[in-house]
Chain A
Amino acid sequence: MLKDFFGKKVKVINLGIASFAEDLRKQGVETVHTDWRPPAGGNKKIQALLDKVASWQSKVKSAKGAR
């Protein structure tokens, strides 16, 4: 439930504008800034193939009870 998230410490993955991560760090928030770049060098076809693999693996991992 969303209300159960209220009150928890926010821990952030930041994708994109670096200053957002810097501001969070200044406040002592656990943050990982990502040196993000367009996946697959911007190639949409390859991105779609990678997404299929990721989707498949997501199912495999849940089926195996890995979570």
Chain B
Amino acid sequence: MVISHLIKKQTYFDSVTLMLIGSQVKKLPGIDSTVVGMCTDYNIESLKRLDMYQSSFDGLTPNDLIICIKAADKQTADAGIAEVEKRLASRKQTSGSAELPPSSQEEAASRLPEANMVVISVPGEYAAREAEQALNNGRHVMLFSDNVSIEEELRLKTLGASKELLVMGPDCGTAIINGTPLAFANAVRSGDIGVVAASGTGLQEVTSTIHRLGCGITQAIGVGGRDLSEKIGGKMTLLATRALAEDPATKVIVMLSKPPAESVLKTLYAELKNIDKKIVIYFIGADPKAIEAQGFIAASNLEDAAIKACDLSTGKKHNSETREEQIIEAASGSKMTGKHLRGLYSGGTLCDEAQRLLQPVIGEISSNTPVKGCKEMPDVYKSSGHCIIDLGDDNFTRGKAHPMIDPAYRSERMLQEIADPETGLIIFDVVLGYGSHLDMAGEMVAAVEEGRKKSGRNPLLAACICGTREDPQNYAQQQKILEDAGIKVFPTNVAMVSFARHCLERNK
């Protein structure tokens, strides 16, 4: 093995660009390992772990870029470096005009003074400062960055609330504002349903389903997972809900979240009771009866939340896209090749929903992000028993792009699960929309076919597509690619999980 490297001092690229390029170049023949990244502690450690570190790297800082490639021979390693450079260079060019692009928020603002939204996905330690600058300049904030402290979040949301400006996040991956999908979001028609959510894929699933059922949205406002905690007190949830209440275009309001903190719940209910519009609430894992007792409509899962919202919007009853009989029929024709279920999810909320729906039925389920009643996986890299895994969780995404963008690890894991004789059924989500991979179905099927070939095993496979026919990916084509590979496809996570439940019950 030969190691080649190239250092570019004081050269900055966003981490996603670097990780994607590293991941793509790693696939080239003869290349064993790649590290393409800023010289953060994490990447330096990765270099050491992969035996690629050299003493000449001492003194490099997180402002320096390193391209390091381990390959079969020097020619291949050097070619790998050249390939990375080529991709980096073409990245820079796509930012458009002959003029140098702005290098700061301030410069960007002078180029587009009418900007009213700042989308922030810079490293967490710098994110709050940028958000504050945006708010001080009267602009709404979409705060995709994570690793923002709760104290910073409180400060930002207090500032935002005082100016009636949105602070969507931190760690907010999805929003659709005034018809514009931001970050990871689906193309959803406009209508009269307003959604406020403390969850990314939850928001994607609900809005996509609303669209597919023929209805539409006014706003899909992400508030970040901690908004309804005691410390933050629901500041953005309250701001967003009040605005939707006063918005003439919004007729129905949907609220999605983990159960809020007790103190916040009281304030929230008091606020919601004053609203003269229909409200559907889905507090994930909460007892729907407790919500109904307060006088609100409670949903029991994400699909149900969408259906109830559409019912209220049109005054007519909507049915689930998949009838129970269809699911039972599909299950009766399917045989599990092993005892256990493996769930490979890119969406965290969908992973949670699967666990919650299956736990009462199949007993012991483990996960890297277990919900109440499920167990913690002893080794997240090795499944045993029924396992439902959130591959977008931190322990899988260090140094790697999120599985919705980069399918590399999920593909690897797919091979692993297929080869495992314990595996009888594998379920997974394919999340479409802006920001997501353009051909996730193709990538998953390639992994499935490789897995089948290498192991000679063929477990049952089912997928759900979270998306709409207006999304940049071709929904129909994605569906066909999966079905042609013998994978059962469902329009919602709930339907797919129901299929899994029936298969597991038949298999007992």
Asked if the two chains touch in their complex, CB atoms less than 8 Å apart, one says yes
Interface on A for B, CB 8 Å cutoff? 1-3, 5-24, 26-27, 29-39, 41-42, 47, 51, 54, 58
Query: Which residues of A are found within 8 Å of B117, using beta-carbon distances?
Result: 10-13
B472 touches A26 (CB 8 A): yes
Query: Which residues of A are found within 8 Å of B165, using beta-carbon distances?
Result: 2
A13 touches B118 (CB 8 A): yes
Query: Which residues of A are found within 8 Å of B246, using beta-carbon distances?
Result: 1, 3
Please report which residues of chain B, range 216-246, place their CB below 8 angstroms from some CB of chain A when the two chains form the complex: 218-219, 239-240, 242-244, 246
Query: Which residues of A are found within 8 Å of B94, using beta-carbon distances?
Result: 18, 22
How many residues does chain B have at the interface if contact means C-beta atoms less than 8 Å apart?
Answer: 68
Query: Which residues of A are found within 8 Å of B103, using beta-carbon distances?
Result: 34-37
Residue of A with least CB distance to B244: A3
Complex Cα distance A53/B352, Å? Answer: 47
Residue of A with least CB distance to B160: A2
Q: What total count of A-B pairs have CB within 8 Å?
A: 160
Which segment, of B176-184, B319-327, B382-390, faces chain A?
A: B176-184
In the complex, what's the smallest C-beta–C-beta distance from B94 to chain A, in angstroms?
A: 7
Q: Which 4 A-B pairs have the closest CB atoms?
A: A16-B121, A2-B243, A37-B12, A10-B180
Residue of A with least CB distance to B95: A33
A-B contact sample (16 more), CB < 8 A, given A2-B239, A3-B244, A24-B180: A1-B246, A6-B247, A10-B177, A13-B134, A15-B120, A15-B130, A16-B122, A17-B16, A30-B114, A32-B111, A35-B102, A36-B105, A38-B12, A39-B104, A42-B63, A47-B129
Please report which residues of chain B, range 115-171, place their CB below 8 angstroms from some CB of chain A when the two chains form the complex: 115-123, 126, 129-130, 133-134, 136, 139-140, 144-145, 164-166
Q: With A10-B117, A11-B116, A18-B94 in contact, is A34–B239 under 8 Å at CB? A: no
Which residue, of B119, B134, B183, B244, has the highest number of chain A Cβ atoms within 10 A? Answer: B119
Interface on B for A, CB 8 Å cutoff? 10, 12, 14, 16-17, 61-63, 91-92, 94-96, 100-105, 107-109, 111-112, 114-123, 126, 129-130, 133-134, 136, 139-140, 144-145, 164-166, 177-183, 218-219, 239-240, 242-244, 246-247, 249, 405, 434-435, 472
B17 touches A18 (CB 8 A): yes
Query: Which residues of B are found within 8 Å of A26, using beta-carbon distances?
Result: 472
A9 touches B115 (CB 8 A): no
Q: Can you spell out 11 A-B residue pairs with CB atoms less than 8 angstroms apart? A: A1-B243, A10-B180, A13-B117, A13-B118, A14-B118, A15-B120, A32-B111, A35-B103, A38-B126, A39-B104, A41-B63
Complex Cα distance A21/B142, Å? Answer: 13
Complex Cα distance A66/B116, Å? Answer: 19
Query: Which residues of B are found within 8 Å of A39, using beta-carbon distances?
Result: 104, 126, 129
A11 touches B112 (CB 8 A): yes
Query: Which residues of A are found within 8 Å of B179, using beta-carbon distances?
Result: 10
Complex Cα distance A26/B94, Å? Answer: 13
Complex Cα distance A8/B177, Å? Answer: 9
Query: Which residues of A are found within 8 Å of B121, using beta-carbon distances?
Result: 14-17, 20
Complex Cα distance A27/B434, Å? Answer: 10
A36 touches B166 (CB 8 A): no
Q: With A34-B108, A51-B129 in contact, is A6–B122 under 8 Å at CB? A: no
Q: With A2-B240, A18-B91, A42-B63 in contact, is A32–B119 under 8 Å at CB? A: no
In the complex, what's the smallest C-beta–C-beta distance from A11 to chain B, in angstroms?
A: 5
A16 touches B249 (CB 8 A): no
Complex Cα distance A36/B121, Å? Answer: 10
Complex Cα distance A14/B316, Å? Answer: 41
Residue of A with least CB distance to B103: A35
In the complex, what's the smallest C-beta–C-beta distance from B129 to chain A, in angstroms?
A: 7
In the complex, what's the smallest C-beta–C-beta distance from A46 to chain B, in angstroms?
A: 13
B166 touches A13 (CB 8 A): no
Q: With A12-B118, A30-B112, A41-B10 in contact, is A6–B107 under 8 Å at CB? A: no
Residue of B with least CB distance to A67: B138
Complex Cα distance A58/B12, Å? Answer: 28
Query: Which residues of B are found within 8 Å of A3, using beta-carbon distances?
Result: 243-244, 246-247
